[in-house]
C-alpha cells in the first residue's frame, strides 16, 4: 500500500514533533540525532527541549505525587520506587504516598534504634575508661553567647589522655593513620594514593569485622535486608564515608569522613569537626584553642557528649558537638546506623538509659552507585 504525499508529510511532521518533545524521553542519555535533549545535562549545555521543564523537571521535585512505582530516572532529585530506600534517595513523602519503607530494607522503628544503640554502647570495649581521660571543661556558656568567638578557658580541654592504652588498640591505630591524608580547605582537590586507600580499607575492616560492635551493626542490617554480605556492607561504607564530592570550586575536595571526623575550613569558618580524637591531637600540637562549651551531656562515664567552641588555627567553630571518649568504631557505627535508618533526619537513640538524638545530612549534588547518596554530616544534637 502506497502512502500519499500528504500522509507521508504528516508522519514526518509528527516524528519531528516527537523528537522536539520530552514526552517519554525524560532522563535518557544524550542523543545527537535529536534536535534537543531531555536529561539533566541539557541544563548545562542549554539544549533542552522546550517542554523539558514542564515534563521532566516538574517530575524531579520532592514529591511522589503520581510517581509511585516509577522507573529510575537520573534527572529526578528524589525517587519513588521500591529501591529508593536502599539507595537513600526516596522523596520525603514516599512512605506516606507509596506505602513503602524509605529505608530500603524492612522499616526500623525508634524502639529498635534505641535498643540497638544500647547494645552498641555495651559492646564498645575500646572506649575510654574513667582513668584514660581527664577533662577540664571550664566555662559553660548559654547558646546565646556562642556566636561570639571569645576565649573563656585559660586551660586546654584535655588534661590527660592515656595514649599508650587507647592509641595502641587496632581501631584507634588504623584510624590515626587516616588523619594526615586530607587538606582541610574546601576547594582544594583531594586524591588518595594506593597506600592511603589501603588505610581506608584497613580501618573499615578493623571497625566492622574486627569488633563485636561492628558485627552487631552488620547483623542487624543484614536481618533487616539492607545488605547481603559483609563485603557488600564494607564496600558501601567505603563509598558512603570516603567517596569524594565537591563542596567548593567544582573540585572533588570533600567526603563524609573528612567533614565529620577531621573538619574542614569553608568560607573562613570551621565546618564539620565532630570527633574528640582529632580535637585532642590538634590541641596537643598547639593548633587548636579550646574556648568554652555550651552543652555537657548527662553521662557520668564515657562516651559523654559536649558542645564545643574553639579556634582551629585562626578559624572559629561556634558549636561542634562530639562524643567524648568513644572509640572510632562506635562513632562510625552510630552515625552509619542513623544515616541508613533516618537519612537527613533526627535519629532518636538511647545510651546508658538516657535519650540522645543524632542529626544526619545527605549530600544531594552527586551520587555513587545507582543513585546512592553520600553522607554529608552527622553529629550528636546538643540542645
Residues tagged active-site: 259, 274, 317
Cβ atoms of 72 and 84 within 8 Å: the answer is: no
Among 46, 66, 69, 45, CA closest to 55 = 66
Parallel, antiparallel or unpaired: strands 304-312 and 288-296: antiparallel
Side-by-side strand order, sheet with 304-312? 288-296, 304-312, 315-324
Neighbours of 285 (CB within 10 A): 9
Place of cell 502512502: 3
- Phi/psi at 117 (nearest 5 deg)? -65, -35
Residue 99 DSSP SS3? coil
Among 283, 22, 267, CA closest to 151 = 283
Distance CA 331, CA 258 (A): 14
Neighbours of 243 (CB within 10 A): 21
Neighbours of 16 (CB within 10 A): 11
Cβ atoms of 152 and 291 within 8 Å: the answer is: yes
Parallel, antiparallel or unpaired: strands 158-161 and 264-266: unpaired
Residue 127 is given by DSSP the state: S
b/e burial code for range 131-142 (CB count within 10 A of at least 16 → b): ebbebebebebe
Residue 358 DSSP SS3? strand
Among 379, 340, 333, CA closest to 108 = 340
Amino acid at each position: 500500500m502506497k502512502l500519499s504525499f500528504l500522509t507521508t508529510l504528516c508522519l514526518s511532521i509528527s516524528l519531528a514533533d516527537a523528537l522536539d518533545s520530552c514526552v517519554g524521553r525524560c532522563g535518557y542519555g544524550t542523543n545527537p540525532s535529536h534536535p534537543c535533549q531531555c536529561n539533566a545535562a541539557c541544563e548545562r549545555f542549554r539544549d533542552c527541549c522546550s517542554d523539558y521543564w514542564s515534563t521532566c523537571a516538574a517530575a524531579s521535585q520532592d514529591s511522589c505525587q503520581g510517581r509511585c512505582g516509577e522507573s529510575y530516572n537520573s534527572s529526578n532529585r528524589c525517587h519513588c520506587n521500591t529501591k529508593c530506600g536502599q539507595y537513600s534517595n526516596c522523596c520525603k513523602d514516599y512512605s506516606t504516598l507509596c506505602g513503602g519503607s524509605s529505608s530500603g530494607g524492612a522499616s526500623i522503628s525508634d524502639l529498635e534504634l534505641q535498643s540497638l544503640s544500647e547494645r552498641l554502647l555495651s559492646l564498645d570495649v575500646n572506649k575510654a575508661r574513667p582513668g584514660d581521660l581527664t577533662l577540664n571543661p571550664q566555662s559553660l556558656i548559654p547558646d546565646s553567647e556562642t556566636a561570639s568567638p571569645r576565649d573563656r578557658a585559660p586551660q586546654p580541654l584535655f588534661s590527660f589522655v592515656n595514649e599508650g592504652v587507647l592509641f595502641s588498640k587496632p581501631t584507634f591505630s588504623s584510624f590515626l593513620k587516616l588523619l594526615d591524608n586530607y587538606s582541610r580547605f574546601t576547594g582544594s582537590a583531594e586524591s588518595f594514593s594506593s597506600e592511603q586507600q589501603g588505610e581506608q580499607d584497613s580501618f573499615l575492616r578493623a571497625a566492622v569485622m574486627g569488633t563485636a560492635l561492628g558485627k552487631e551493626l552488620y547483623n542487624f542490617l543484614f536481618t533487616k535486608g539492607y545488605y547481603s554480605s559483609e563485603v557488600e556492607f564494607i564496600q558501601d561504607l567505603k563509598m558512603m564515608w570516603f567517596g569524594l564530592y565537591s563542596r567548593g570550586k567544582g573540585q572533588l575536595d570533600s567526603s563524609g569522613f573528612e567533614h565529620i571526623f577531621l573538619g574542614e575550613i569553608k568560607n573562613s569558618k570551621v565546618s564539620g569537626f565532630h570527633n574528640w580524637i582529632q580535637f585532642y591531637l590538634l590541641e596537643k600540637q598547639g593548633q587548636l584553642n579550646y574556648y568554652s562549651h555550651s552543652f555537657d551531656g548527662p553521662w557520668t562515664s564515657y562516651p559523654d557528649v559536649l558542645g564545643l567552641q574553639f579556634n582551629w588555627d585562626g578559624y572559629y567553630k561556634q558549636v561542634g558537638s562530639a562524643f567524648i571518649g568513644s572509640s572510632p568504631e562506635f562513632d562510625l557505627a552510630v552515625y552509619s546506623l542513623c544515616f541508613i535508618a533516618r537519612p537527613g533526619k533526627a535519629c532518636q537513640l538511647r545510651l546508658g538509659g538516657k535519650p540522645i538524638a543524632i542529626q544526619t545530612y545527605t549530600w544531594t549534588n552527586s551520587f555513587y552507585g545507582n543513585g546512592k547518596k553520600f553522607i554529608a554530616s552527622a553529629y550528636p544534637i546538643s540542645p
